Amino acid sequence: MMTGFTEHVFTHDGVDVAYSSGGEGPPLVLLHGFPQTRSMWARIAPALAQAHRVICPDLRGYGASGKPADVADYSFRAMGADILALMNHLGHDRFDLVGHDRGARTAHRIALDAPERIDSLTLMDIIPTHTLLSKLSHQVAKSYYHWFFLAQPAPFPETLIAADPDYYFQSCLLGWGGATLDDFDPAQLAAYRVAWRNPETIRGMCNDYRAAILHDLALDTLDLAQRVTCPTLVLYGADGAMARAYDVPATWADRCTNIHAATVPGGHFFPDTAPEQTLVALRRFLDRS
């Protein structure tokens, strides 16, 4: 899957966490987003492994990781608990943490729940979950309609998506800033297709979005006064839906006390479509933090 990496499975609280690891040095966790798997790091992780011990898990509900039944099991807190338990298992008390999309939301929750564990935080192409859901504009609702489609009661979205998973999920990859399938690495795209054709993965991803509305919004409301104090990179696509709708760094100004901000050319899926530029931005931040 990734050059120089080995694949493993760790079980936390009855849920399998599939992950790839490689390299030596300070530990670094990379968390993928929707509708992808840890394969999204295939052109980034090996380069970072030259200076870090890099761990790339599949989030629960995604890829080869477990897919529990209850919606509550898909909160970002539950996803984050998997990562913290995995890093305990690997013997890492502290680590740098990078997340894209749903992985970034999980990473934010980890930084709130276990700030003593995180040396630095990178949030890729998101605004705070609470901001997006509580101050929703027509523009964002139109671009991010999937938040509300996928959150509909089962089995409504699962049934519609299962009719043609490739069509639906590729429409997601090609939105939110624009791209073509040719912009995605063929091997990574093939790995995504294998994962999202699994009905259990479709259910897991829908439950992820259900949990955001049913559980994460309330959890984030309780923590509105809490600040992330570690060095935080807000990295976003220069041409993405979030950049068009928001001053992205400004949405994090009252959530983080030590913010660095940068853009990468392209839309929401810039780790796939611009991996070299993404790598440059990550290295610059990790080296300074």
Indicate if 93 belongs to the active site: no
Residue with tokens 């999202």: 196
Residue 1: closest CA among 46, 67, 31? 46
Assigned token pair, 270: 């810039």
Catalytic residue among 32, 73, 268, 272: 268
Distance in angstroms (rounded) separating the CA atoms of residues 253 and 221: 16
The answer to whether the Cα torsion of 198, 200, 206, 208 is positive or negative is: negative
268 a catalytic residue: yes
Q: Token pair of 286, please?
A: 């990790």
> Torsion over CA of 4, 32, 206 and 247, rounded to 10 degrees?
-170
Q: Which one is catalytic: 101, 125, 216, 220?
A: 101
Output the CA angle 211-212-213, nearest 5 degrees: 90
End-to-end CA distance of the chain: 29
Phi and psi at 8, nearest 5°, equal: -145, 170
Q: Which of 186, 200, 164 is nearest to 58 (CA)?
A: 200
The catalytic residue positions are 101, 268
